[in-house]
Amino acid sequence: MIHIPVWSRRPVRVAVGLAAGAAIVYVDNFAFEGEVSPIVIVAMLLAATATAGAVWGRRAWVAAAATWACVPFAHVVKHVLGLPDTLHPNTYVSIFYLALFTLVVATVGAGVGVLVHRPAVRSRA
């Protein structure tokens, strides 16, 4: 039987991804009353997914997906509940475009992290 460290198991990666996503959603929607530049949110998403990629390599896709999903999901929930949102216009089409854009950002971040992970793993061996 192969021993897998606890921090590397899938539930841990999902939990870490959701925690990172929740932090991004908090900053996007609540910090400074939602008046945060979108560049900050993109940078946070890029940093979180790149960090996951650097730590877990190719297995980071779970954490990156969980982190990514939090951003558009928060806007869908706010739209359904009729709450004021930082996204303008607050339509399903805008949320869809946001989801596509943030998916690209999360994919690039995770990819860069995986590229960093490979040399780091080789240097330890």
What pLDDT is attached to residue 88? 87
Asked if 102 and 45 count as a contact pair (C-beta separation under 8 A), the reply is yes
One pLDDT digit (tens) per residue for the chain, 125 residues:
555 676 668 899 999 999 999 999 999 988 877 778 899 999 999 999 999 999 999 999 999 999 999 999 999 999 999 998 888 899 999 999 999 999 999 999 999 999 998 776 666 65
Give counts: helices (H), strands (E), the chain.
Answer: 4, 0
What pLDDT is attached to residue 13? 94
- The residues spanned by each domain of the chain are 9-124
Q: Could you give the CA distance from residue 67 to residue 103 in angstroms, rounded to a whole number?
A: 10
Q: 109 Cβ partners below 8 Å, 6+ apart?
A: 45, 46, 47, 48, 49, 50, 53, 64
Tokens encoding 100: 């596509």
